[in-house]
Each structure stands twice: as structure tokens, then as C-alpha cells.
Amino acid sequence: MKPSISKLTHAGAAVFGLLLAFALLHRQEAHSGTAATDVPSGKPTRPGHRHGNGGSAEMKAATAARHAAPQKFRAGEYQKAWDAIADQSLPAQQRFYLQMELLRQWAEVDLEGALIAAFDTSWDGRNQGMGIQGLLQAFDQEFARRPTESWDIITSGRFGLGAALAKGKWAQSVVKENPLLVANHLRQIPYHTRRSLFPQVLAAIKEDPSKIGAFYDKLTELPQDNLFRDMVRDSIRELGARGSTDEIRSKFLESTSDAQRTILVHEFGKSLANSSADTIQAELTKLPEADRGRMLRSLAHHAETGGEHSPQLIAMIVKAGEYKEVVQQVNEHIRTYASTPEKQASLAAWAVNLPQMPDAAAVIHRSVSYYAMNDPQGARAWLDSVPASTWGRNTALAEYSQQMLWKHNNPEESAWALSQINDPKLKETATGWRGSWEKKNRKQ
């Protein structure tokens, strides 16, 4: 007959914790195909070997616990089981398994008590995924099932610094089914977790586009820092813009919130992502001049990378003086565009004819480099055909000189390029670059 928990003697109650512990351990070993542990000391017996009298109180207690495990016990009884596990000399993995199973069941009955126990423990393995980070996995199901209640418990102030860990685990558990709830608490989730969690938030929102508007509104509540700007950019890139370019522009001009305007700037760029340079230019003229640079930066992020209109977009960015703000994006546009060999010559020709303005030389260097790297003979013939009066030709020659040295190990072609530069200052600078290559080769 199964013992009644409510009728346990005082002495038996002290042993109760072991009952559930052994039941859980038995389940673990049944899954793994190993023999059950039969003795309270936690030491396994050999198959077929009986420890002492088969009718001992310890054996009967362990057997009873195995049958009783599926029951829901009172919170205090789970605490006894938790304390009992701590008193046993068990292998770290067995102990961790017992902890996990106990916490899962305990959390269904007393979520706060189970969390307190997990954070109060100081005797679990810490270097094999069996510390508090591992134990928090036991709460996945209850966090997801009761997200609001569990958040209130976590943020009650009871857990001190441990609350930060629990918040991160809570967010991981809840995000798939309740992305808006997670978004609502993003600013309270630790910074590093917030950044790593965000792609999961976006994936969940994408599954239900009806949530996009509410999600963008929640983003405006975040601190206006670099992470916020990254999140906004990534959100618009992944989820898209709300409405047409005209609608977005009207909202932008009417908005007085910096956070909302940041989102609308990116929506503006996304709405024009596949547009021609003429269309982009026409849309920009409908905006105050002070806002056009922001919109161009947005386009650098959202326009098709390396698309057919990339050179024209880059030219607008350089002309507006926004190159340094989006240099990485511009370089990626150039790299992707030049990844098509047939476009390398036309890209170089386009770049060398850019108007003389700040940052144009940097674009010429980057654009010419691919042609010189991959087709040095064609690049040489092309440079011969560029009129000496073209200001960008000197920069192109300087880049060609560099590529002849570092890519092709051809100092003669490099010397030819240097001899063609008719800007004394640039010629001196480019010759200095050659000195680095010569120094490196002397050491070899």
C-alpha cells in the first residue's frame, strides 16, 4: 500500500525529501537504461545485489517515492526534497538532474519558492552547465505559461542581482508566443541579452504581421542610444515599412517625437529601397533640406546592396556629405556591385568621373581596386585612355600602383602608375605607400 504523505510521522517527514529525490532519480535511470539507485547514500548497487534486508525502511521509502512522484506535493514538501538532495553525496550530473526535475514540478505549485531555492543554492556544479544558468532552464514551461505572473515575481526585488539572469531566461521562454510582451520589457532586460534576443523578437513578430505597428510603437519607448538605432534599422529591414512613401513622409513631417522620427526615417528608406535614383532624388526634394541627409543614410542601409542603382545612390550620399556616416554600407554596396566581373570596368569609369568633392577620392580607391586586382591589363589600358585633365585619374593611378604591388607583386607596373600622377602631393603620398611594400620585401 502506498504511504499517505499526510500521515508521515515526524521522523518520516524528515526523510520525505529523499522520497521524491529517489523517485526522480529512478525516472532518470529508467530513461537512460541504467539500474535504479536503491540506497539513500546515493551509491548505486550492483545489478541483482540487495542492500541489507529487502524490507528495510529505506528500500520501502524509495519504492513508495517512485510511485508517488507524479503527484503534486505541497510547497513545503518540495523544500524538504530540495534540502535532502543537497545532503546527498551524488555525482554532479545526477544531482543536477534531480534539481532540474524537482524545480520543474515545484514551479507548478510554488513558482516563487522554486526560484528562491534555485538562486539560494551554492552546492551545484558551476563549470559544466550545471550552475544557476542551467537550473533556470527548469522554469521554461512555467515562464511561458504564466508570463505576467512570473515577470512580477522576478522583478519583485527578492532576487537581487540574480534577477538579471532570470529576466533573460524569462524573455527566452516567452518570446515565441508573446513577442510584444517581451518588447514591452526590453529596456528592463540586460543589455547583452537584449541584443542577442532581438532577432527572436523579430522572427516572432514576422509570424504575425498584425503586431508590427504595436511593436514599432513599443520600440519608441527604448532609450535613444546606439542599440536603439540598430534595433530600429534591423526591424524595418526585416519587417518592412508601414504605408507608402507619401504616407511616411507626412507622418515624419508631423511627428515631434525623436524616437518616432527615427523609425519613420528608416521606413522612408525602406519604402524607396528598389527605386531609381531619379525617384529617390524627387522624393528627397519634398523634404526640408536639413532632413535629406538622414534619409540618404537610411537608403544606404535599406536599398538593395550592390543593386543597379548603387553607383547613383553613392554619388548622392557623397555629394550630401554623408559618406563618413555610412562608410561601411557604401563599401558593401561597392563590393557587392563589383562582385560581378562585367561591372568592374564600368564601376571604375563611373568613380573616376565623380565631381571633385570631399570623400570622392575614397570612393574612387574602393571602386578602382576591384578592376585593378582582377584585370590589371584591362585596367592599365583604361587608365591610358582617361584624359590627364580628369581629376580622379590621379587617385585611380595611385590605387592601381598599390594593387600592382600588393596583389600582383609587379613593381614595374607600380612605377609606371606613379610616373603618370601629375599631382605632386598625391604622387609623394603614393610613393610613400610603395616604401612599405619595399620594406616588407627586403625582410623576405
Query: How much is the pLDDT for 26?
Result: 53
| Any domain includes 31 | yes
In a domain, 410, yes or no: yes
Q: How many domains, in total, are found in the chain? A: 2
* Complete DSSP assignment for 149-199: HHHHHHTTSTTTTHHHHHHHHHHHHHTTT-HHHHHHTGGGS-HHHHHHHHH
Of the residues 130, 160, 180, the one at which a domain ends: 130
278: in domain:
no
In a domain, 352, yes or no: no
Q: Please give the chain's pLDDT, 444 residues, in tens.
A: 333 333 333 333 434 455 555 555 555 555 555 433 333 333 333 333 333 344 444 444 444 444 444 456 788 888 888 888 888 888 888 888 888 999 999 999 999 999 999 998 754 445 556 788 889 999 999 999 999 999 999 999 998 888 999 999 999 999 999 999 999 999 999 888 888 999 999 999 999 999 999 999 999 999 889 999 999 999 999 999 999 999 999 999 999 999 999 999 999 999 999 999 999 999 999 999 999 999 999 999 999 999 999 999 999 999 999 999 999 999 999 999 999 999 999 999 999 999 999 899 999 999 999 999 999 999 999 999 999 999 999 999 999 999 999 999 999 999 999 999 999 999 999 999 988 888 888 765
What would the pLDDT profile of 241-286 be if each residue is shown by its tens digit?
Answer: 999 999 999 999 999 999 999 999 999 999 999 999 999 999 999 9
- pLDDT of 247 reads 97
The whole-number pLDDT of residue 3 equals 37
Query: 83 Cβ partners below 8 Å, 6+ apart?
Result: 17
Torsion of CA 202, 208, 214, 217, to 10 degrees: 20
What's residue 71's pLDDT?
56
Domain membership flag for residue 420: yes
pLDDT at 31: 54
Q: Considering the entire predicted model, what is its pTM?
A: 0.76
- CB distance 168 to 159 below 8 Å: no
In-domain check, residue 370: yes
Between the two ends of the chain, the Cα-to-Cα distance in Å is 87
71 within some domain: yes
Domain boundary among 111, 130, 149: 130
CA 204 to chain centre: 14
Please give the C-alpha separations between residue 187 and each of 108, 144, 176, 236, in angstroms, as whole numbers. 28, 20, 18, 19
443 belongs to a structural domain: yes
Cα-to-chain-centroid distance, residue 255: 30
User: pLDDT per residue over 117-127, tens digit each?
Assistant: 999 875 444 55
Domain of 407? 359-444
At residue 129, the pLDDT reads 65
Round to whole Å and give the CA distance between 427 and 53: 97
Instruction: Indicate the residue among 96, 130, 164 that finishes a domain.
Output: 130
